[in-house]
Amino acid sequence: MKRGSFKKTILITGGAGFIGSHLVRHLVKRYPDYMIINLDKLTYAGNLSNLKDVEHCANYRFVRGDIVDQPFVSDLFDQIPLDGVIHLAAESHVDRSIVSPDDFIRTNITGTFNLLHAAKTHWHGTTGGKLFYHVSTDEVYGTLGPEGSFTEQSPYDPRSPYSASKASSDHLVRAYFHTYGLPVTLSNCSNNFGPFQFPEKLIPLVINNIRNMKPIPVYGKGENVRDWLYVEDHVAAIDLLFHQGRRGQTYNIGGGNEWRNIDLVRLICRLSDGILGRTPGSSEKLITFVTDRPGHDLRYAIDAGKLRKELGWSPAREFEKALDATIRWYLENDEWLNSVTSGEYQKYYTEQYSGLKKDSSGE
């Protein structure tokens, strides 16, 4: 492929997934002088209909492929002179990693290694201006008690196969910086929400179950705490860090917006009742406390002070407004929701939730 008239060619891995599709759309629209290549295997979590509005743009191209396939990754770097990689492709759901960790090890560790190796080999001696940007998670830091928050200095303490595989990939990325001088930047972000998130994750799952008047499964007592960030705010941070982040540095990204799961689920119920014109309190009756997730991290909270101080980033969206807009998006886009919840999803849902016992110890 010729560089043509584009200023930069950037490879986004996992661009058909939730965060990746928002990032691809953002970059394609904001930087018409960049060629954006979306490399995605299209697993159950990848969906090209997430990108319908940009698929015909002159500065966008989709390549289907598996980052675990080393010769494929190497060929891609041979064929396309890349200025940057923003690496999001991953197996991303904790519950799936508990049931079958194999793909998490392959994609998140071996896949990341293949990309690093290809970048090192192909960029050798010409790393000026190039960047391997690795998108990671706050889950690598483990779990918090009631006080404090994760900083970039927090020790790694992953506790699920998912977070352990992401931690391994982070270590590999830093090793390539220190050992080979590969220009890298990393970020570790808290829980994202917004349109196009696969409804195995808490927020879209709750909305989908409210829509279908199905029980809402809350693990344990619903006391676990997550720090929620609207996906577009994460994308804005990635854009900023890709262009201005320091090489070899890690940046935490988070909303400063902690919610106990049960409080968040109740808020979604209240907002949904209003949007759907249902009797107030009717969705809350669907809440069902079920067997807890094994090794369930109690609390995540991110200190994003470094990113704020260095680059002036802070979340732009007010949480409740963004949540309300997100609920409306899922309810209005029932075609999307129906298409992703047919087939494989039904099997997953039955296997994941039918074995869970009702837990009357919940509130």
Using CB under 6 A, which residues numbered 105 to 124 contact ligand NAD? 107, 111
Residue 307: strand, helix, or coil:
helix
Nearer to ligand NAD, 13 or 341 (CB): 13
Catalytic residue among 34, 133, 141, 162: 162
Contact 12, 24 (CB under 8 A): yes
Q: Which is nearer to ligand NAD, 46 or 220 (CB)?
A: 46
Q: What residues contact residue 353 under an 8 Å CB cut-off, 6+ apart?
A: 217, 290
Minimal distance, residue 297 CB to ligand DAU, in Å:
7
300 is catalytic: no
How many angstroms separate the Cα of 121 from the Cα of each of 13, 176, 342?
18, 11, 42
Looking at beta carbons only, is 8 or 214 nearer to ligand DAU? 214
User: Is 147 an annotated catalytic residue?
Assistant: no
Contact of residue 114 among ligand NAD, ligand DAU, none (CB under 5-8 Å per partner type): none
228 binds, among ligand NAD, ligand DAU, none (CB under 5 to 8 A by kind): none
CB of 23 to ligand DAU, least distance (A): 15
Catalytic annotation present for 200: no
Local structure of 296: helix, strand or coil: coil
Q: Rule CB under 6 A: is residue 94 a binding residue for ligand DAU?
A: yes
Cα–Cα–Cα angle for 132, 141, 138, rounded to 5 degrees: 55
The answer to whether the beta carbons of residues 189 and 234 sit under 8 Å apart is: yes
Is 50 an interacting residue with respect to ligand DAU (CB under 6 A)? no
358 neighbors 290 (Cβ within 8 angstroms)? yes
Q: Alpha-carbon distance 25 to 55, whole Å?
A: 9
For ligand DAU, which residue has the nearest CB? Answer: 137
Among residues 9, 10, 17, 94, which is the contact residue for ligand NAD, using CB under 6 A?
17
Q: Tell me which of 40, 91, 138, 233 is the catalytic residue.
A: 138
Q: How many residues does the chain have?
A: 363
Q: Which does 35 bind (CB under 5 to 8 A by kind): ligand DAU, ligand NAD, none?
A: none
Q: Is 202 in the site for ligand DAU (CB under 6 A)?
A: yes
| Binds ligand DAU (CB under 6 A): choice among 24, 39, 110, 139 | 139
d(C-alpha 248, C-alpha 297), whole Å: 28
Q: Which residues have C-beta within 8 Å of that of residue 34, sequence separation ≥ 6?
A: 6, 7, 8, 9, 10, 27, 59
Residues at the interface with ligand DAU (CB under 6 A): 92-94, 137-139, 190-191, 201-202, 205, 217-219, 224, 226, 261, 293, 300
Kindly list the catalytic residues.
138-139, 162
